[in-house]
Amino acid sequence: MHLEKRILVTGGAGFIGSHLCEALLKTGAEVLCVDNFFTGARANVAHLLDNKHFEMLRHDVTIPLFVEVDQVYNMACPASPVHYQFDPVQTTKTSVHGAINMLGLAKRTKARILQASTSEVYGDPDVHPQQEDYWGNVNPIGPRSCYDEGKRCAETLFFDYYRQHQLDIKVARIFNTYGPRMHPNDGRVVSNFIVQALRGEDITLYGDGQQTRSFCYVDDLVRGLIALMESPEGVTGPINLGNPGEFTIRELAEHVIDLTGSKSQLTNKPLPEDDPKKRRPDITRAKDQLDWEPTIKLRDGLVKTITYFDELLQKL
């Protein structure tokens, strides 16, 4: 008889997924980490392989999976523009076929399932800050659509399984998250700036650098995901998980230069197509329903992230 929860984490060797696996193991759960290593890395979970409650399976979620579990965290999908635009058809398949396969697994095993959705479902928003009842402003045929629309379709599937099959679902809309184990070449602003600063290269600002983002440290985010998964059955979401502290991209660059002591200069390049101008979560729902809010300040989180990248770059 299994007393510990058996938890499946798809994309478990990814940046957020690996931190989630680690946190779940600390709760005494048995964790099955599934990843196809497209953007995830074995190194992210290497330190967990000796844990008798941890299991690693190389598998692509676009192919059905037959395992017995109590909970599913569906985290699998490349999440940075560099990676999701590399093979946009596969990105859409990962979001849509992956959701169908994991929902089917949850239905068969009567497991509770959480979808890692994204603030990108809001597109380039006309509403600020973004609340969960905002339907978004998304270009369905642009270069980012494979990710934005794939995630939107996954949310549709989750709610249809909820209505049609009474499946126990949770949907988290994740805003910009950063921390150790980010991919150094993922093109995301935090990793880009830190790597450029540590190498003494010019820091690239797209546009005038006045576009804003809200940065949530990964430990805060993982706490939010677990709080949502453990919330009462009627709490389906979608729930925004992110840090409501809003910074311009230029401010972020200045923090990184200051904390690394770098001599890097700022340079400007044109803004990519469909790049959102503003991004800040309204987390009222997360506070009310999950008693969750982030506690780690940007500079404190950046210090930990810079330390990680500094050690990583010295090995390369």
Largest CA distance in the chain: 60
pLDDT along the chain (316 residues), means of 10: 84 98 98 96 97 98 98 91 84 97 98 97 93 96 94 98 98 97 88 95 90 95 98 96 96 96 91 78 98 98 98 89
Four-CA torsion 86, 92, 98, 99, nearest 10 degrees = 140
Boundaries of every domain in the chain: 6-175+217-243+281-294
Q: Token pair of 298, please?
A: 């940007």
What's the confidence (pLDDT) of residue 56?
A: 98
Q: Catalytic annotation on 206?
A: no
**Cα–Cα dist 11/102, whole Å:** 12
The CATH superfamily label for domain 6-175+217-243+281-294 reads NAD(P)-binding Rossmann-like Domain (3.40.50.720)
What's the confidence (pLDDT) of residue 274?
A: 63
- Using CA of residue 161, residue 94, residue 36, residue 39, what is the dihedral sign? negative
Find out whether 298 and 245 touch, Cβ atoms under 8 Å. Answer: yes
Concatenated DSSP letters of 292-314: ------HHHHHHHHHHHHHHHHH
Neighbours of 245 (CB within 10 A): 13
What pTM did the predictor assign? 0.95
274 CB-side CA count, 13 A: 18
What's the confidence (pLDDT) of residue 315?
A: 85
Of the candidates 73, 84, 122, 147, the residue annotated as catalytic is 147
What's the confidence (pLDDT) of residue 84?
A: 79
Q: Token pair of 150, please?
A: 């794939």
